[in-house]
């Protein structure tokens, strides 16, 4: 007999009750396994070039009387805006700005000079004997289109000097820049110099330049039309072809210097002649920042092949310390781009740093020998004997292969028996002769075998 339908549900569509939805799972974004655009790793293969650059720049800093200073990567934004200047590409387009959780407006440093001046004032360096010479190195950040040798995170080495206005200091700073580049194996170098005057004579020059550029406004790029209102001097530095053609016939700053600036520049050139440095006067060199006065210069390389690469530059910034709230303090400095220098070192096949090679290899066999080998390695290291090892490799054969590949002179073999006896087998890798040496006489024995004077000492111990 068929089952009767319930009167209440007869003729109605029965909808089944849906099960409750499961809680929405949190979407986990995949890790992006690549660097941000314009930022890159410095891999072990490139480190010998970086090490060579660090060693040369630090040595010359010491030789020329510069003291090292390290600055924070993050500073208040207005430090850079006020010192570099509104209307510059750095401030308008390239700074990494953000607001901290505490509400502070800060920026990743786009250059070093502003931070060095801030530190000079904040830490009362004005009381130190003049000139105060400071050396710094590190990363800088600019949100610009990445290009060869200039990334969004790149590195600079900086030399700055405060408290002396004599042009002999200008000449010495140019000499240091030249020495750095030449000491790194880049022999073909050109120095470009100019004087952009002081605020007194520059005022008349800017007026003259502006009148000329206004007459050529239609031939300028869009950026330079804006610069015409804010900072016409920067138009001379524009890389656009049509702007370069306009700049070629523009009035030159060196023709409109006051007496003080003229004498300063003339004296600098005499010093450069005396030093026999390869310089040319570039009347269109202005540098792109507001704080420069009088001397400006750049270091270029690659002239022997007709291809020129800018490696860095700098100049005087005599009014910056006072503008920031300190005493009236003349100053000069320059920065070199580390990535650009390394690219040039590779291009000219300059030597990179060659670390000392170990002459001794420590091999161990068995668990007890493994435990003792760490202490033995430490003892040899304390005695400035550079030792290689292959801890974790099980067989003696595989360890001896590593020793052969490294080209060491001696291999120390520590096995179960030697560990219990307090001895080590010393194997001459050239002759194959093996000796068993007491652990307490091992250091002296190795030094004697390697001829003490030739032992590689790779760092000092206090």
Q: pLDDT tens digits for the chain (462 residues)?
A: 455 455 544 555 555 555 555 566 778 889 999 989 999 999 999 999 999 999 999 999 999 999 999 999 999 999 988 887 765 666 666 888 999 999 999 999 999 999 999 999 999 999 999 999 999 999 999 988 887 777 899 999 999 999 999 999 999 999 999 999 999 999 999 999 999 999 889 888 888 999 999 898 888 888 888 888 877 888 887 878 888 888 888 999 999 999 999 999 999 999 999 999 999 999 888 876 778 899 999 999 876 555 678 899 999 999 999 999 999 999 999 999 999 999 999 999 999 999 999 999 999 988 888 888 889 999 999 998 999 988 876 688 888 899 999 999 999 999 989 999 999 999 999 889 999 999 999 999 999 988 743 444 444 433
CA distance 114 to 161: 13
CB 179 within 8 A of CB 148: no
Answer whether the bond into residue 390 is a cis peptide, omega within 30°: no
Q: Could you say which DSSP state residue 317 is in?
A: -
CB 207 within 8 A of CB 301: no
Domains and CATH numbers, the chain: 47-198+258-347 (3.30.930.10), 360-454 (3.40.50.800)
Quote the pTM value.
0.83
CA distance 300 to 322: 31
């Amino acid at each position: 007999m068929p089952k009767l339908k319930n009167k209440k549900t007869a003729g109605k569509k029965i909808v089944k009750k849906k099960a409750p939805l499961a809680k929405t799972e949190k979407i986990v974004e995949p890790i992006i396994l690549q660097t941000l655009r314009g930022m890159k790793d410095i891999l072990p293969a490139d480190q010998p070039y970086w090490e060579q650059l660090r060693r040369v720049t630090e040595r010359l800093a010491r030789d020329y009387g510069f003291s090292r200073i390290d600055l924070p990567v993050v500073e208040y934004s207005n430090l850079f805006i006020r010192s570099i200047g509104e209307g510059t590409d750095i401030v308008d387009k390239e700074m990494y700005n953000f607001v901290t959780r505490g509400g502070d407006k800060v920026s990743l440093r786009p250059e070093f000079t502003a931070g060095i001046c801030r530190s000079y004032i904040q830490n009362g360096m004005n009381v130190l004997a003049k000139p105060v010479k400071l050396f710094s190195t590190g990363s800088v950040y600019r949100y610009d289109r990445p290009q060869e040798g200039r990334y969004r995170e790149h590195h600079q080495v900086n030399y700055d000097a405060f408290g002396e206005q004599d042009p002999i200091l200008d000449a010495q700073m140019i000499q240091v820049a030249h020495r750095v580049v030449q000491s790194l194996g880049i022999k073909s170098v050109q120095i470009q110099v100019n004087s952009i005057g002081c605020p007194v004579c520059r005022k008349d020059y800017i007026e003259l330049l502006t009148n000329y550029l206004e007459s050529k406004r239609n031939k300028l790029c869009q950026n330079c039309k804006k610069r015409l209102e804010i900072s016409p001097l920067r138009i001379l530095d524009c890389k656009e072809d049509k702007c370069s053609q306009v700049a070629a016939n523009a009035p030159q700053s060196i023709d409109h210097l006051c007496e003080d600036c003229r004498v300063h520049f003339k004296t600098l050139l005499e010093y450069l002649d005396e030093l026999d440095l390869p310089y040319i006067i570039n009347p269109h060199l202005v540098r792109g920042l507001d704080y420069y006065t009088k001397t400006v210069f750049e270091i270029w390389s690659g002239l022997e092949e007709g291809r020129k690469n800018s490696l860095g530059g700098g100049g005087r910034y005599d009014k910056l310390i006072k503008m920031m709230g300190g005493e009236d303090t003349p100053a000069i400095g320059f920065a070199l781009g580390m990535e650009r220098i390394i690219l040039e070192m590779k291009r000219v096949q300059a030597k990179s740093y060659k670390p000392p090679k170990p002459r001794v290899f420590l091999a161990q066999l068995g668990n007890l020998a493994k435990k003792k080998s760490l202490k033995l390695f430490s003892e040899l290291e304390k005695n400035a004997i550079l030792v290689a090892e292959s801890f974790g490799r099980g067989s003696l054969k595989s360890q001896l292969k590593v020793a052969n590949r490294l080209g060491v002179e001696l291999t120390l073999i520590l096995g179960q028996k030697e560990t219990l006896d307090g001895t080590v087998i010393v194997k001459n890798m050239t002759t194959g002769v093996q000796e068993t040496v007491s652990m307490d006489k091992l250091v002296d024995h190795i030094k004697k075998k390697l001829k003490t004077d030739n032992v590689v000492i790779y760092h000092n111990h206090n």
